[in-house]
Structures are given as structure tokens and as C-alpha cells.
A = this chain, B = another copy of it.
Amino acid sequence: MRLGIEVDLVYWFERATDVLLQIEAAAMVDQRIVAETLTIWSDDPIRAAIGEDGIGQRCWTRADGQWRAEYRGTIAIDRATIDLLPLAATPPRDLDGHLVPYLLPSRYCPADRFEGFVRREFAGLEGGALAAALVDWVATSLTYAGNASTGETTALDTFASRSGVCRDYAHLLVSLARAGNIPARCVSAYAPGVDPPDFHAVAELWLEGSWHLADATRMAGCGDIARVAVGRDATDIAFMTVFGSAQLMEQSVRVRTL
């Protein structure tokens, strides 16, 4: 499957400000960059920086006054949908060091708080069987709602409000998975079925030696997700981090199946 991606950002900066962008689809074995351009209207030079876990790339830039960025990408995705259910559990003690952070709590994914819930409600399940049950639980327990959360909302809030956007679904699924000893990370992505069209966020769960995409919003299938960045939670995968302040003027994200 091929995705055509068009992103346009226009922001206003009161004063010269450093900006970290993460909006380019990552080149990976299951998602090939067919064509890609990132254009930033700025007098300052642009610097690339490697993404978390060596995936994708961040782009440092400097903005002053009106600032515009345009991303155009064609991505070929070749990824089979895998049934999580039969995948075996890996006990924590067999995990490599680079996976350890994905077992631990983080700001928006306070996994330690959810251990009691996971132990009680999913007793006897582990590995793929637990992962599949958790994805299903989040998908059916939450209502998608654009106005139910903010940038400060944690998985604890979402667990009680039972509603949120893609980011909240991902945070809750990641928290529950970690609480069940499954390494889990957050992924920013592009996907065609996102409604309203926007940057998307999903989870990745580590089972039987590799990462498996899981979108608890069920807006996207595993086969049509183009990853941008990965990390512990929304902190790491934000499409734009401003080291100062900025004002949104226009923003559009369009993703089509080609």
C-alpha cells in the first residue's frame, strides 16, 4: 500500500525561537520512502537529529515571525497484519537494556498505578493473549472525543473519563501493557482513515522479539500506518516542540491511499 502525505504548518513566533519538528515519515524495513520533501521557509539553517531508538529523524530549526513548513511524502508500506494472540510472553528478565525504559512508567503513562487493575481484570493472561485483550479493552471502553482531553491529560485521567483522542488511547494502552510486563512505546504516525484528518498516535507492543503496531482507536489497520517517531509517551513524539512560545495560524494534514 502507498500513502500520499501532505502537511502544511503555519505558525507565528513573536521572537526568534528554536523549534524541533518530527513530521517526516521514518525510513524502516516495513515502510519505504518513495519520495519526500520537507520545505521550511526560514533564513536559519536546518539541522537533522536522529530520533529516539534511532528511528526517523528530528529536524531542528529556528523560527521568527511568520513561519511555514511543508512536508510532502509518498510512502510504500509493506507490513503484514499479525495476530497478537498467539505471541508468547517474554519475562522482563530476558529483555535487552534498550527495552527497559518501555517497561517503566513515564509522565503520561504512569504504568505503576495500573498494576492492580491489570492483575485483577486480566488475571492469568500474559504476552500476546494479554496484549490482544488490552487492545480490545481500550478500543471498546473509550469513546473518541475531541474535547475531552488536553496536552496535560494522563492515562489515569483517560481511564476515568473513558474518552479522548488518539494520543489518549495510545497512552492508556501503553500504560496497561507496561503494567502487564509488556514493553510498550508510543508512535506518532500518518494513517489514511484518521477522522478528522490529523497527525495520528498509536502504540507499539514488544512481543516475541519485535515491535507490533496497535491502534486502539481502530481508525487505522497495521498495514496502513507510516511511523514518524517513537518514544516513551507524547513528550517524545510531539510533531513540534517549541523552545519558547508560538501561535498556530494554519495546520493541515492530509493522508491518502494512492
Contacts and interface: CB of A to CB of B under 8 A. Distances in A.
Nearest to A163: B116
A235 B161 contact: no
A7 to B, nearest CB: 20
A60 B92 contact: yes
Interface in A139-163: 141, 143, 148, 150, 152, 156-157, 159-163
Given A60-B92, A92-B60, A106-B235, A49 B120 contact: no
A100 interface: yes
Given A116-B143, A160-B116, A181 B243 contact: yes
A107 B155 CA distance: 13
A110 interface: yes
Q: Which of A52, A141, A159 has the most CB of B within 10 A?
A: A159
Q: Which of A62, A104, A121 has the most CB of B within 10 A?
A: A104
Nearest to A62: B93
A105 interface: yes
A163 B113 CA distance: 10
A249 B120 CA distance: 28
Contacts of A160: 113-114, 116-117, 156, 159
Interface string A20-45: 10000000000000000000000010
Nearest to A164: B116
A250 interface: no
A57 B49 CA distance: 26
Given A20-B92, A58-B97, 12 more contacts: A44-B93, A49-B95, A62-B93, A104-B241, A106-B106, A107-B107, A114-B161, A116-B148, A116-B162, A117-B160, A117-B161, A156-B157
27 contacts: A18-B181, A20-B100, A47-B94, A49-B95, A49-B97, A50-B96, A50-B97, A51-B97, A52-B101, A58-B100, A60-B93, A62-B93, A92-B243, A106-B106, A106-B235, A107-B107, A107-B110, A113-B161, A114-B161, A115-B161, A116-B160, A117-B162, A120-B162, A156-B156, A156-B157, A156-B159, A181-B243
